[in-house]
Amino acid sequence: MQQVAVVTGGGSGLGREMALALAAAGFQVTVTGRTEAKLRETAEAAAGVAAVGAAGVGEVRTAVLDVVDGAAVAAFFGSLERIDLLVNNAGTGAPSAAVQDVTEEDWRRVVDTNLTGSFLCAQAAFALMLRQQPSGGRIINNGSISAHTPRPNSIAYTASKHAISGLTKSLELEGRAHGITCGQIDIGNAATSMTAKMGAGVLQPDGSIAVEPTFDPRIVADFVVRIAQLPTDVAVPTLMVMAAGMPFVGRG
C-alpha cells in the first residue's frame, strides 16, 4: 500500500525539498501552504521528475491551508482517508528585535504559526492515525538549533522552537500505545531564502557580525525520507543537522 504524507509549508524552501524527496521515494504527498501558486510549483517540479521516467515517483497534490486556522485544519485532515506521515514544516520568523522592542503582533504571529499551527496539525493527524486501519503513523516536527540555543534578538522564534521540543516529546509519549511516533529535526543554516543573509554576515552574541556557512537543504530532505521509511516501532526523538563550522558549537 502506498504511503501517504502531508508536508505543511510545502510551497518553497525546505518544505518543497522534503515533498520532492518523499515523492521520489514513492510517497503520495500533499503539500499545504497559504500561496496556491507556490504549491503548484512544487507539484509541477515533482511531475517533471516523473515525466523524465524516474521509476516509482509518487504524486504530489496541493491544498491551500493556513495552519493557524483551526477550522480549516480540521476540515483538511477530515477530508483525508489516511495519513502515514505528517511533516510539520510551516513556520515563520520575526524581524530581529531586542526584547523590549518586540511587538505583541509579531510575538503572536510567530507563536501562532510555529507552535499553535504545529499543534493543530499534529492533533488532527494524530486523531486520523488513531482511527484509520491499519492504525499508526509518524509525525516529524521541524525544530531548529534555536530549540537549544538562541540567536540574539530572536526571542519569539526561539521560544516557539523551544516549545516545539515539548510538543514533540508529548506526542511521542502519548503515541506509544497507538503505534504513533514523533520526532524532531533541528536544522542549522540549510541554504534557503531564509538563510541567504548568512553570506553577508549576521549578528553574533558578542556584538560582532560574522559570515556563517550553509549547506544543501536536500540533505535534510534525505533524512526526512530515511526517518519516514523506518518502522513505527523505531523512534527518532531528535536529530540535529547543521552546516559544519557554525558558531553553534563552542565559544565564538
Q: What CATH number has the domain bearing residue 31?
A: 3.40.50.720
First to last CA, the chain: 50
**pLDDT at residue 52, as a whole number:** 46
Average pLDDT by stretches of 10, the chain with 252 residues: 95 96 96 97 86 67 98 98 98 94 98 98 98 97 94 96 98 97 95 80 89 92 97 94 87 58
Domain count, the chain: 1
Q: Is 66 a domain residue?
A: yes
Classified as helix, coil or strand, 46 is helix
Q: Is 252 a domain residue?
A: no
Q: How many CB atoms lie under 10 A from the CB of residue 88?
A: 29
Q: Rounded to two decimals, what is the model's pTM?
A: 0.93
Q: Is 251 a domain residue?
A: no
Q: How many CB atoms lie under 10 A from the CB of residue 63?
A: 17
Classified as helix, coil or strand, 172 is helix
Q: Is 156 a domain residue?
A: yes
Q: Is 192 a domain residue?
A: yes
* Residues across the chain: 252
Residues paired with 60 in a beta bridge: 29
Q: Which domain, by its residues, includes 187? A: 4-242
**Active-site amino acid positions:** 157
Classified as helix, coil or strand, 216 is coil
Q: Is 249 a domain residue?
A: no
Q: Strand 28-33 to strand 209-210: parallel, antiparallel, or no bridges (unpaired)?
A: unpaired
Contact 217, 188 (CB under 8 A): no
**pLDDT at residue 200, as a whole number:** 85
Q: Is 248 a domain residue?
A: no
Angle between helices 70-78 and 117-131 (to 10 degrees): 30
